[in-house]
Structure 1
Amino acid sequence: MKARTAFATVLVGVLAVLSLLVIRPFLDYVLGAMLLAFVLTPLQRRLAPEVGARVSAFALVSLTILLFVGPIGLFVRVVFDGVGELPTEVSDLPTYQSVERVVERVVGVQIGARFDQILGNFTSTLAERSSGLASAGVHFTLGVLLLLFLLYYLLKDGDVLIRWAKGVTPLPRKVQDDLYAEAEEATWAVLKGHVFVATVQGFVSGLGLIALGLPNAAFWTVVMMFLAMVPIVGVSPVLGGATIYLVVNGRLLEAALLVVYGITVVAVTDDYLRALVIDKESSLHSGVVLLGVFGAAYFLGAIGIFVGPIILALFKETVEVFNEYYDLA
């Protein structure tokens, strides 16, 4: 009996490792599909009895394309198009000539030729790696298609997958039910307090840039939505840079207005939303969120910004459930 158990354990372990290697190239897209399926499952359960599981899943995938995949694809395209518009000489950069005169007057060093050389090397390096960019584009396209297909099947057959997982998990059903309930609560807490609040804060911050007529305001709004998910950092780098840009261009009144807008409207929006949507007992400490964001982003890429804090929250809830039933202490 022990030999059979050992053989089954080794076989399952080997197949699990091989399965992970198969999934690994697109792991970030798989995790993205799972996260989206979790968010959309309540809608799927409401729509499926009315129109059928397939039709409701297809409708929600189409909604995802309109609300998420489409804008992200457009954003990536704008970024890549912007690469071709990079200046080939540093003197083409805004406000460069005034900065160059100040440095030469104070330090006595001519920086123009050196910066031209650095910028030229940078643009030539981008051109040499255009094949790598094309390969990344193909990988991105395949990943998005995989995400959409997985999302469809997770919505349509997600309950079947959960029942199968519960059936093969060697834990009492009561323990499993508590684990799933705590995992669902922790995931929603992170999504509301980490993703939703950051998205709104980045959007509100972007409204200030748009109102002041700053260039590429839409692009920087998206950037702030991601930066707002990082504790301590937040939207301040972009708003600070925008303030400096306005000061350098002599728009002092607008710079002052942006500062006031940041410390009032943006700050109040952040504090009010967090108090409104987050239960203090279920929220993660800022240090845990920061560790989850940085660690998972390094390990998983961009999707780690979203799933990193969720993984740490699930670990915490799992330990608490096991401690309640099995007295781990």
Structure 2
Amino acid sequence: MNRGQSFLLLLMGSVALLTLFVILPFVEYVIAAAILAFVLYPFHRRLSRWLRARVSKRFGQMLSALTLIFSAIVAVILPLAYISWVFVRDLTAIAAGDTAINVAAIEAEIAALTGQDPEVADLLQTAGELLVEVLFGGFSGVVTTGLRASVGLSLALFLLYYTLIDGPAFVRWIRDTSPLPPDVTADLVDRIDAMTRGVVIGHISVSLLQAVIAGLGLWVAGIPNVVFWTFVMAVLALLPLIGAFFVWGPAAAYLVIIDQVTAGIFLAVYGVAVIAMVDNYARPLVIDQRAHLNPGIILLGVFGGIYSVGFTGLFVGPIVIGVLAATLETFREDYDAI
């Protein structure tokens, strides 16, 4: 390596670090835009092809991208924004000691069964305070997070537009500039594509579906703070078979404790007959079998991602681990003999 190449590598590394420093405050929104573009691109390709037959090529691409962005805002971003707002509202209320749960009935039932005098309200408040501290850095961080989310969301929408328009050219550039042999680069890109689709469209979409169905059951049964518990189940549902049960099971028992036996029995039957069946049948049907990731690894990625980059870590963490797995698998198959 000569001096010119060494200097160029040093310059590239320095600029890369500076770029990371610049985008770091909004890195979760950059990644969110990339993930959403990844999911929407197959629709963009078909829609833009249909529009190009009627208008110019460039205008067809622009119109397709804008149509999909508007659809994503209505179908994804607005519901997520509402769910996030309700989740934050209920979480801060729990952390402040204000909850709609009938804590007195729970404490009385536990005292009757064990002879102990538990402080369930204090435990709930402590858990709420801990979650607020971990997710937002305390109560003061909630407002700051909201303001940054507004700016980040606007940035993500702009990035989504340009990623849909120029994404294929960027992928071609990566293929062309990769120092790996073309066949190894193609194999790695295909593995990453399969792994990402398996994680985003498979594990996480099934978990979100299960959480929504379970949340509907909680709402019908009359459980308070339904949106909050639905969000919790969306994370726990990444654990097959038993994940969402950690919420709807105790919720059914809670209803029985407060003398709403019919609602409690309904929720228990609904959980076994409907919620559990979504996991048993939807997961094998939806998950791409090429994404061989253990559910425990995915759960680790979810919690680590949420802790590291916020809400979008729900998707980012498992994808990062999936990309690592794809890279290791490519290395094993293409360079194992070296």
When normalised by structure 1's length, the TM-score is 0.83
Judging changes above 3 Å, is the alpha-carbon distance between structure 1 residues 103 and 143 closer, same or farther for their aligned structure 2 residues? same
CA gap of 1:109–1:176, structure 2 versus 1, over 3 A, is closer
> How far, CA to CA, are the matches of 2:16 and 2:321 in structure 1?
22
Alignment check: 8 A CA contact 1:212 1:254 kept: yes
Match of 1:60 among 53, 57, 68: 68
- C-alpha separation in 1, matches of 2:331 and 2:214: 42
Q: Distance in 2 between matches of 1:141 and 1:64?
A: 16
CA distance in 2, matches of 1:191, 1:145: 22
- Which of 77, 96, 120 aligns to 2:104? It is 96
> 2:287 aligns to what?
278
Matches within 5 A, 1:1-329: 2-51=2-51, 52-82=60-90, 94-96=102-104, 99=107, 131-230=140-239, 234-327=243-336
Query: What is the CA–CA distance in structure 2 between the aligned matches of 1:249 and 1:242, rounded to whole Å?
Result: 11
- Closer/same/farther in 2, CA of residues 16 and 197 from structure 1, 3 Å limit: same
Structure 2 residues not aligned, in runs of 5+? 52-59
RMSD, aligned CA: 3.4
Cα distance in 2, alignment partners of residues 200 and 227 from structure 1: 12
Look up the SS of the partner of 1:57 in the other structure. helix
Q: 3-state DSSP class of the match of 2:330? A: helix
Give the secondary-structure state (helix, strand or coil) at the position aligned to 2:291: coil
- Structure with bigger gyration radius: 1
* Structure 1: gaps spanning 5 or more residues: none
For residues 27 and 193 of structure 1, the distance between their equivalents in structure 2, rounded to whole angstroms, comes to 24
The separation in 2 between residues aligned to 1:88 and 1:294, in whole angstroms, is 24
1:220 & 1:191 partners in 2: Cα distance? 21
Tell me how many residue pairs correspond in the alignment. 320
Q: Distance in 2 between matches of 1:213 and 1:186?
A: 39
Partner of 2:267: helix, strand, or coil?
Answer: helix
Distance 1:207 1:188 in 2: 27
In 1: Cα distance, 2:301 partner to 2:92 partner? 35
Percent of pairs with identical residues = 36
CA offsets per residue over residues 58-94 of structure 1, 9 Å max, x none? 1111111111111122223334555787798879973
| Alpha-carbon shift at residue 205 of structure 1 (Å) | 1.2
Match of 1:18, SS state, is helix
> Distance between the aligned counterparts of 1:287 and 1:313, measured in 2?
13
Greater CA drift, 176-185 or 150-159: 176-185
Contact 1:296 1:305 in 2 (8 A): yes
Distance 1:212 1:66 in 2: 28
Q: Distance in 2 between matches of 1:321 and 1:8?
A: 28
Pair 1:107–1:286, CA change in 2 (3 A)? closer
Alignment CA distance shift 1:111-1:225 (3 Å): closer
Report the alpha carbon displacement of residue 108 of structure 1 after superposing the two structures with TM.
Answer: 9.5
Is the alpha carbon distance of 1:290 and 1:215 closer, same or farther for their aligned partners in structure 2, counting shifts above 3 Å?
A: closer
The whole-number CA distance in structure 1 between the counterparts of 2:217 and 2:42 is 34
Distance 1:222 1:24, change over 3 A: same
TM-score where L is the length of structure 2:
0.81
CA deviations over 1:240-269 (Å, ceiling 9, x no partner): 331232022201232123222222321122
Determine the C-alpha separation between the residues in 2 that align with 1:321 and 1:42.
25
Asked if the contact 1:230–1:293 (Cα under 8 Å) also holds between the matched residues in 2, the reply is no
Instruction: Indicate if the aligned counterparts of 1:229 and 1:305 stay in contact, CA closer than 8 A.
Output: no
Question: 1: distance between equivalents of 2:206 and 2:227?
Answer: 18
Q: Distance in 2 between matches of 1:12 and 1:49?
A: 37
Report the alpha carbon displacement of residue 152 of structure 1 after superposing the two structures with TM.
Answer: 0.8
Contact preservation (8 Å) 2:239, 2:296: no
Whether contact under 8 Å (2:302, 2:315) holds in the other structure is yes
SS of equivalent to 2:293: coil
Q: Which residue of 1 aligns with 2:56?
A: none
Distance in 1 between residues matched to 2:116 and 2:292, nearest whole Å: 54
- The 3-state SS of whatever aligns with 2:254 is helix
Q: How far off is 1:284 after superposition?
A: 1.2
Q: How far 1:272 sits from its partner (Å)?
A: 0.6
Which range moves more in the overlay, 20-29 or 164-173? 164-173
